[in-house]
Amino acid sequence: MSRARRLVDIVRTLKSAAPGSLTAQQIANRFSVSERTIYRDMAKLIDSGVPIEGEAGLGYWLAPDDGPPPISLTWRQAQILWRGARLIALTADEEAALDAGQAQSALEKMLGDQRVRRLEAHPLLSLTDKLRPVPAVLKAFERAIADRCRVRIIYVDLQEKDCEIEGEAVSITPIGEMRILTLSVDDTMIHVRAERIRKIKLRA
């Protein structure tokens, strides 16, 4: 049995034993592994966010209302979930965007830096519209990112009003033909669609 499968089955075993507890020895005997292996497995599950509690002499048990057990994902599934979390983080309201950002960070730990860099280099969606940003805007923003300087932009908001914003250039995110520009303004991340920018100026 693979470790990933054993971790899932350990959670199911604890659910079956609820509201009681199981000792490391009992769990080890059930899966034909050592107690040391179970200690490592429990540490892994707890670090992953599974609400397992334990106490010497009593064993391990699941906290009430623990929700569904963790699931095993293929690399492809993890990448799709990462892309979905990133899209929600960019487009949803503040609370949902925060949750999506946390999910994205958790998935990045699973995927590793190399896979994440490949994902970041490709569009999130293949949209059919023709929303294309002005190349000069992207070039100026890319320069601001490279030089780590601030930018001042004037853009058209969703109410078709001109707005002005100034902050540190952080990143450019492709979504189909669109590009989302991210600025850090007073420690808050602001996302602006590049094609809505009327004017951009780099600040020292």
pLDDT digits (tens, 9 = 90+) for 32-45: 999 999 999 998 88
Q: What is the rounded average pLDDT of the residues 171-179?
A: 80
CA atoms of 80 and 119, how far apart (whole Å): 10
Q: What is the rounded average pLDDT of the residues 57-62?
A: 86
Instruction: Name the phi and psi angles at 5, rounded to 5.
Output: -65, -40
Specify the pLDDT at position 86.
84
pLDDT class of 132 with cuts at 50, 70, 90: low
Q: What is the rounded average pLDDT of the residues 135-158?
A: 88
Specify the pLDDT at position 36.
92
Specify the pLDDT at position 127.
47
CA–CA distances in Å: residue 194 to residues 125, 132, 151, 155, 166: 16, 8, 13, 9, 14
CA atoms of 178 and 62, how far apart (whole Å): 45
In degrees, to the nearest 5, what angle opens at C-alpha 188 toward C-alphas 96 and 181? 85
Specify the pLDDT at position 51.
82
Check pLDDT > 60 for residue 67. Answer: no
In degrees, to the nearest 5, what angle opens at C-alpha 11 toward C-alphas 7 and 13? 110
Check pLDDT > 70 for residue 65. Answer: no
Percent of the chain at pLDDT exceeding 90? 21
Specify the pLDDT at position 129.
47
User: Taking all residues of the chain, what is their mean pLDDT, rounded to a whole number?
Assistant: 82
